[in-house]
Structure 1
Amino acid sequence: MTGRMGSRTVELEIGGKTRLFDIDDPVLADWVEDAALTSGHHPYKEKLDAEDYEKELRRLQIELVKVQFWLQATGGRVMALFEGRDAAGKGGTINAIRAYMNPRSARTVALSKPSETERSQWYFQRYVSHFPSGGEFVLFDRSWYNRAVVEPVMGFCSKEEYHLFMDQVPHLEKMIEQDGIHFFKLWLDIGREMQIKRFHDRRHDPLKVWKLSPMDIAALNKWEDYTGKRDRMLEKTHSKGAPWMVVKANDKRRARLNVIRHMLHALDYEGKDKKALGEIDEKIIGKAPDML
């Protein structure tokens, strides 16, 4: 990252062209605005209509309330991991899921960086302590998969720690499956221009500026490194019992609806209204080998 006239200007190689991006400039560059929605091979050129989105979301949220009653009656457990690049929409998707669920048994886990004590423990230990008890619906806003992508790209773990993680994680997830937890892994995928646009939006929104960190800016030139680690993670840790679902998330509305639909279709809960669920958009969500 290079500074020019006191600004934070980044030189980016995108599509064979060198682009200059100044996140402090309140006017978003045309090359970002024009390409954002369709970047990363997103299949739609327009966002889903807001009114249609709200109607569909309400129907799905009613079904999620039914799921919570079912879990409480049966002692069932649901756990979902939300991963993706910074600004992919993980937190917003989780909020849409939990909006009308009882927070006593539907909770979000968003862990900060490990303490000195946690760094001396088995890597998965601090995550396992947050696994669901009977009747709980737990959503991880980032998870142990930090070690598969963010940590090696940013130099926060050693090569040995990374390879050990990649060897161990399939065994952990096999145990989760065998123990009867309803387990979902979701990678929210966005295009490069969309990520830049969302970073810019955060920088200039006084209510969201706290979401933008110096690490986000530092990662802008590591797009291909992230892509390589993401692809290896999806290849090595996708399994029949713990599949990765990839969600095309440039349009947050379509992404949220299809994440919720996917989860509801997979759960055999009492009172399911299949008509209310609607059809899953296979252009937006699918198993990792089919989507990337």
Structure 2
Amino acid sequence: MGDKKRPARLSVATYDRELLSLQIELVKLQEWVRVGGHRLVVVFEGRDAAGKGSTIKRVTAHLNPRIARIAALPAPTERESTQWYFQRYVDHLPAAGEIVLFDRSWYNRAGVEHVMGFCTPQEHARFLHQCPIFERLLIEDGILLRKYWFSVSDAVQEQRFKARLDDPTRRWKLSGMDMESITRWEAYSRAKDEMFVHTDIPESPWYVVESDDKRAARINMIAHLLSSIPYEEVPLSTVELPSRPPSTGYQRPPRDLQTFVPDRTADLRE
């Protein structure tokens, strides 16, 4: 990927401070969406191990899951495979006052389905023709649509795959499809370039997030999302804790009538 010099990484303290500041703003954005009845769709696409999932976790960390939800669709069922391609994604679009984050999206057809031969050349060509039309219809109907492509170098991707091999909490993330992403690196690059030619349109542009540095990628992506939406802080209603009323004689049942989880921390304190 050339000899481009990487900038110094953010310190953990700086990263944590900036991330928290942005997450507070995301809560304000959420309330603006909720109260104003807006609809926000954020598409996360990119290379395997580019950091999409970890960024989504930081975006949703302090949001209300009833308002902001993640759509990560599995492979289509036999019935869904006979539907209009975009049909099953439409079911997951937000209603008024909702935010939907697509952890991969309809762009599967332009990437993995095309490269792996899971769709025909005709289906791929039809997608590239219909996708801009589909997205213009969403925007015309008032949906706020933001699309992010997470870009990672081949060397860093391979490092992250190797790290997952040795991490029992992330080993599940590795699949045969991930291994294919290594051997078909150039094929995926060509597919992405062709996808951008057809779908990087003025009404719905792609925003590329350089993600060799995951901390920087998260900060940059969230900051851009916030800057791209004209949200305003919604005044919160005043809440006062009521005084606890005096006891009326309630007695808690004896502890030995209940089953408590064992105190695992007792051994850790010794």
Counterpart of 1:158 in structure 2 is 120
- C-alpha distance 42-77 of structure 1, shift in aligned 2 (>3 A): farther
**Which of 184, 205, 217 is the matching residue for 2:179?**
217
Report the number of matched residues: 234
Q: In the alignment, which residue of structure 2 is the partner of 1:58?
A: 20
Matches within 5 A, 1:1-292: 39=1, 44-271=6-233
SS of the residue 2:70 aligns to: strand
Deviations 1:59-84 (A, max 9, x none): 00000001111111110011010000
Deviation at 1:49, TM superposition (A): 1.4
Check conservation: 1:40, 1:191, Cα contact below 8 A: no
Q: Which amino acid aligns with 1:235?
A: V
Q: Structure 2 stretches of 5 or more lacking a match?
A: 235-270
CA apart distance, 1:42: 6.1
C-alpha RMSD over aligned residues: 1.3
Cα distance in 2 between the residues matched to 1:91 and 1:40 = 27
Paired with 2:179 and 2:140, the residues of 1 have a C-alpha distance of: 40
TM-score, normalisation: structure 2:
0.84
Instruction: Decide whether the 8 Å contact of 1:79 with 1:184 is kept in 2.
Output: yes
Deviation at 1:45, TM superposition (A): 4.1
Distance 1:224 1:75, change over 3 A: same
Q: What displacement does 1:40 show? A: 6.6
- Over 3 Å counting, the alpha-carbon distance change for 1:257 and 1:157 in structure 2 is same
Corresponding residue SS for 1:116: coil
SS in 1 for 2:183: helix
Tell me if the contact between 1:87 and 1:198 (Cα under 8 Å) persists in the aligned partners.
yes
SS at match of 2:27: helix
Would the aligned equivalents of 2:44 and 2:150 in 1 still touch at CA under 8 Å?
A: yes
| C-alpha separation in 1, matches of 2:5 and 2:141 | 37
Using structure 1 for the length normalisation, give the TM-score.
0.78
> Counterpart in 2 of 1:7?
none
Check whether the contact 1:148–1:162 (CA below 8 A) recurs between aligned residues. yes
Structure 1 runs of 4+ aligned residues shifted over 2 Å read 39-47
Q: Structure 1 residues 42 and 94 mapped into 2: Cα distance closer, same or farther (>3 Å)?
A: farther
CA displacement at 1:41 relative to structure 2? 6.7
More strand by share: 1
Is the 8 Å Cα contact of residues 46 and 150 (structure 2) preserved in structure 1? yes
2:43/2:147 contact within 8 Å kept:
yes
Q: Which amino acid aligns with 1:86?
A: D
Residues of 2 paired with 1:197 and 1:228: CA distance? Answer: 22
Segments of structure 1 that go 5 or more residues without pairing to the other structure are 1-38, 273-292
